[in-house]
Chain A
């Protein structure tokens, strides 16, 4: 006996053009997180000027960054239909394509991150690596260029963070994504995620408070940029105004305002602010909220952007 539902009830079963799903959202999230890590690593390298003065979390962050970005690129690789053609990104550079730019940024980011591992990774890991001769040579070279590495790290971090937002904006067919605010928004979200992750790893109270304060600023900036994102769309062309309706009563309203804004930004902002005022001792759960909110932001924007392209109020897939 075969069963099918009839009429209006099977609208959502029809395939949607969900070209990008969790994998791309996960890549954008991890990319943003690594961007934020690079930003803070650079900042702290400049602040402290010496290895020993660096907070432990930053030193572990330097180890985590290449692993996280590697995981993110693996997700992107999973999304490619023709996996064997991945090298073509490097043989066919196009000035106008953010995809092309991104693959080169990534290629430049990895050596920087490896140098940082050699420079500032916790001693247990560093001593293992530096033992090898070429690595020790590279490390001593890098030691001399400490400030260059630090500045490069900040710049690369900002570029990578903005790139994760622009990558989406490149597609003209998706009005929701063509916004100047998206790059800075993803950067702010990446920085807030990295601050949360470092606060999670940090044991020293003073350093933790520093990251919590940084997170409060980044989350505040994120809220402002979400505002800018809305204003930008609302004052733009008709098809932008229609696209933003997805968050103003349309199919992604609740996930956006509920999971991204309340769970991922507003609630942690409130709790961390209370912590800085000495009213609350923040637990591991709050940075986790920030990270979950960051992933939700990427997913909701990626999914909603594609729904806007296919024609407004498209039904959601089974993930949300």
Chain B
């Protein structure tokens, strides 16, 4: 589905700086919407948890329906490339426990992280304490990460989505979400009425402003929008599913079966590695697995023992780069290690001949060609001499390298987005 218009940024329409500015404007819209929803006041937010006012759920589900319908319809019409959208990854247990703790924190603090900003902006002093708490909690998490990392990364299911998990077409799931939300809208109205009759009035008054009297069954506009969204996701969602096989709306991977996206790349010779390093054309990490001597190591190497390597790859603790070059003394041991990195979804290769080859080809000066040499030999000599000078810090000839080999890796999906 290349050639789709959206999303503009991930398909390269504008640069990183413009993105920050657009994000600021989007944030203004977000904050304005939160304020107009009444979410700048903690009383309005928590009253859902006492059954008095389900404003939070109404706003949230309506927003989800709107945005979801928009995504389904635009991708159905071929305007949106779902493959370029940042899809939240699933880590089942961490999200379950994280959600429970966050929910508890929500009712204790009276805000969630986003609404606390809008709350502070409307003059709520208590919201400032919530804002102060969030970095504090993040810090506690960062300090405890060595203990929690394994749990936090367990049951990793990649970009699993409801459609891919259920094995159902996107439009069916979207219709299901519409019906679920519609049913919830009707149900909470009844609950509110019951709670007010039963508790409020006899006990204490409901917090916040006057209770809402909105019956979704009585507003023609709401019906119309709801129906339009429903019809839209059925028609265009079906078109999407019919066209895209398999649909790239997320990919379901069973718990703990990582997505095997990575692979083992052909080994690099010392000269080839040197060319990549000199040109800086690709982001690579050089991982030296030697435990004893660090002699003749490639500049910029990270030292990780062979035993730790897979563990740290699993915990996402290796630097985020395009490809990993494994280095050992002779280049034998790493040949077996590369596939285990690839199993964790990484692109891995190794330095052929290890540091021994590096020492011989790069760190020692090349032999001067003698008598009756071809032009190619001279060029090779000049390149090797300049590479040698570059890595041994001998200030000699200006650097001349041939084009470095290109490691064929898939484009990295932009990480971040939402909340990471």
Contact = CB atoms under 8 A, between A and B. Distances in A.
| A/B touching: CB–CB < 8 A | yes
Contact of A6 (B17, B21, B302): B302
Interface in A1-48: 1-10
Contact of A249 (B15, B121, B284): B15
A132 interface: no
Is the contact region of chain B dominated by helix, strand, or loop, or is it mixed? mixed
Contacts of A250: 17
B20 A6 contact: no
B283 A7 contact: yes
Nearest to B27: A258
Interface string B265-293: 00000000000010010011110000000
Contacts of B25: 262
B interface, size bucket: 20 to 34
Contacts of A285: 121, 123
Contacts of A200: none
A6 B121 contact: no
A4 B25 CA distance: 37
A6 B300 contact: yes
A257 interface: yes
A9 B283 contact: yes
A5 B301 CA distance: 8
Interface in B102-129: 121, 123
B15 A6 contact: no
Nearest to B14: A249
A7 B284 contact: yes
B242 interface: no
B20 A5 contact: no
Given A7-B277, A7-B284, A285-B121, A254 B17 contact: yes
A9 B286 CA distance: 12
A236 interface: no
A249 B18 contact: yes
A151 interface: no
B24 interface: yes
A2 B301 CA distance: 9
A253 interface: yes
A127 interface: no
A125 to B, nearest CB: 29
Interface in A216-241: none
Contact of A7 (B24, B123, B280): B280
A1 B24 CA distance: 41
B275 to A, nearest CB: 12
B133 interface: no
Contacts of A283: 123
B303 interface: yes
A251 interface: yes
Contacts of B20: 253-254, 258
Contacts of A263: 24
B319 interface: yes
Interface centre among A7, A251, A252, A285 (most CB of B within 10 A): A7
A254 B321 contact: no
A285 B125 CA distance: 12
Contacts of A3: 302-303
B319 A9 contact: yes
Given A6-B286, A8-B283, A9-B283, A254 B21 contact: yes
Contacts of B19: 254
Contacts of B302: 3-6
Given A2-B303, A3-B302, A262-B24, A249 B283 contact: no
Nearest to A257: B21
Nearest to B24: A258
Nearest to B279: A7
Contacts of A257: 21
A253 B300 contact: no
B300 A5 contact: yes
A203 B321 CA distance: 57
B307 to A, nearest CB: 12
A39 B420 CA distance: 47
B282 to A, nearest CB: 8
A6 B301 contact: yes
Nearest to B286: A6
Interface in A272-312: 283, 285
30 contacts: A3-B302, A4-B300, A4-B301, A5-B285, A5-B300, A5-B319, A6-B284, A6-B285, A6-B321, A7-B283, A7-B284, A7-B300, A8-B280, A9-B321, A10-B300, A250-B17, A252-B17, A253-B18, A254-B17, A254-B18, A254-B20, A254-B21, A257-B21, A258-B20, A258-B21, A262-B21, A262-B24, A263-B24, A283-B123, A285-B121
Given A253-B18, A262-B21, 12 more contacts: A1-B304, A2-B303, A7-B280, A9-B283, A9-B319, A10-B300, A249-B17, A251-B17, A254-B19, A262-B25, A263-B24, A285-B121
**A-B pairs with lowest CB-CB distance, top 10:** A6-B300, A254-B20, A253-B17, A258-B24, A254-B17, A8-B280, A254-B21, A258-B21, A7-B280, A257-B21
